[in-house]
Structure 1
Amino acid sequence: MTGGFRARRGVVSATFAADEVRLLRGLVAELVELVRSETPISTKPPEDSLAALVGQMASTEPPDDEVLARLFPSAYNDDENAAGEFRRFTEYGLRDAKVKNAEIVLESLGDPAFSDQVTVSLNPDEAQAWLRNLTDLRLALGVRLGVEDDDEDTWAALPDDDRRRQVYGVYVWLGWLQESLVRAVW
């Protein structure tokens, strides 16, 4: 099991067991699939010159999936029109950025098939991509599980064979991994 991220001579690194790499790669791939799966395209013709310049735009409607709704929240909760317009111009870029962060994580993890452990070394930009991706992964798992503030006792009370407890363990591990990366970066 990894000891978390550590900084040394301007490089942040961590060594992962092959099982951890497979787990991370699977979670990241699922997140990419989800982010790419529901990218609604606006069917309205552009009404202004900025829209015409930007080209393909997202829909003004918020995502139906609850994880996507949290990953791409409304910018203006009290103004549906403004929120829709903001979404229309920004969602594609946000989705692309999340996919690029995920690609950086996947590339840095390499292939665990060739070794029983993988050492990841990150430059500052890669470390930031990892931090953003770990945030997205934790948010996605937290939403799917229904994690709330201060509900650790609820999760601890679940039987060991309850699948939700196992997934919650992954959620906690990702949080620990993220914290170790934050400490190594700062």
Structure 2
Amino acid sequence: MAGLFESAGGGSAAIALDEVEASILRTLEVQMLELIGPGPGGAGEDPLAALFAEGPTEAPADPALARLFPDAYGEPGEQADAQTTAMSGEFRRYTEVDLRTRKREDALAVIRSLDGLGEDGGLLRVDADQCPRWLGALNDLRLTLGSRLEVSEEDEEGLYALADTDERKPLVMAYVWLGHLQETLLEAMAG
């Protein structure tokens, strides 16, 4: 079936993507790279200095980034006290740089895989060692789209019933498709 993963044995997976599906997935991953940003110091940073770089101490203002890089302490959606805010800030300071790097590497792994397809799409094999990167990248995309769509457990079903004229419809379709990709990739990895 086009657009969904199947087991290729040994924890690897395969997916048949047409040119539109591959283009959509690639575009979403490029946008993810733009959202995450280059990290502290940018591309020309001294590699030794990058090992000791400290991250921010405050949560991102953008709700999608806040969803990708949540506070480590406190309850989501609730105002934290000063001690909890300080603990989250310290944790973020020492972990966010590495987390951003991993998310960029996951997105780049997907883009590189897609770049290996012909311009008309085709069958893409994802080796077992790359499947976790793909899974992470798909999860990041879905979290970001869910944040932009303001998806909650209460109204998720309502999103599926949107009129075709609703401007959110293409994002909802991508959100649903990414969910199917995640599910079938997990099944392929296990099978």
> Structure 1-normalised TM-score?
0.85
CA distance in 1: counterparts of 2:7 and 2:103, whole angstroms: 25
Quote the sequence identity (%).
40
User: 1:46-125 alignment to 2 at 5 Å?
Assistant: 55-77=52-74, 78=80, 79-110=84-115, 114-125=118-129
CA gap of 1:59–1:118, structure 2 versus 1, over 3 A, is same
**Any conservation in 2 of the 1:110–1:118 contact (CA below 8 Å)?**
no
Q: CA deviation at 1:111?
A: 5.6
What SS class does the counterpart of residue 73 from structure 1 fall into? coil
Give RMSD over aligned pairs. 2.1
Per-residue CA distance 1:25-64 (angstroms, 9 max, x = gap): 0000101110116x578xxxxxxxxxx9952211211111
What SS class does the counterpart of residue 124 from structure 1 fall into? coil
Q: Which sections of structure 2, spanning at least 5 residues, go unmatched?
A: 42-48, 75-79
The runs of at least 4 consecutive aligned structure 1 residues that moved more than 3 Å come to none
Aligned to 1:155: 159
Aligned to 1:46: none
CA gap of 1:57–1:171, structure 2 versus 1, over 3 A, is same
Answering whether residue 143 of structure 2 is matched by residue 139 of structure 1, we say yes
Aligned to 1:7: 7
**Any conservation in 1 of the 2:13–2:127 contact (CA below 8 Å)?**
yes
Q: CA deviation at 1:140?
A: 0.2
Per-residue CA distance 1:91-142 (angstroms, 9 max, x = gap): 0000000000011111111266x43223211112211101011110000000
Answering whether residue 181 of structure 2 is matched by residue 177 of structure 1, we say yes
Higher relative helix content = 1
> Structure 2-normalised TM-score?
0.83
Q: Which sections of structure 1, spanning at least 5 residues, go unmatched?
A: 42-51
CA distance in 2: counterparts of 1:5 and 1:53, whole angstroms: 36
Count of equivalent residues: 174
Structure ranking higher on relative contact order (CA contacts 8 Å, 6+ apart): 2
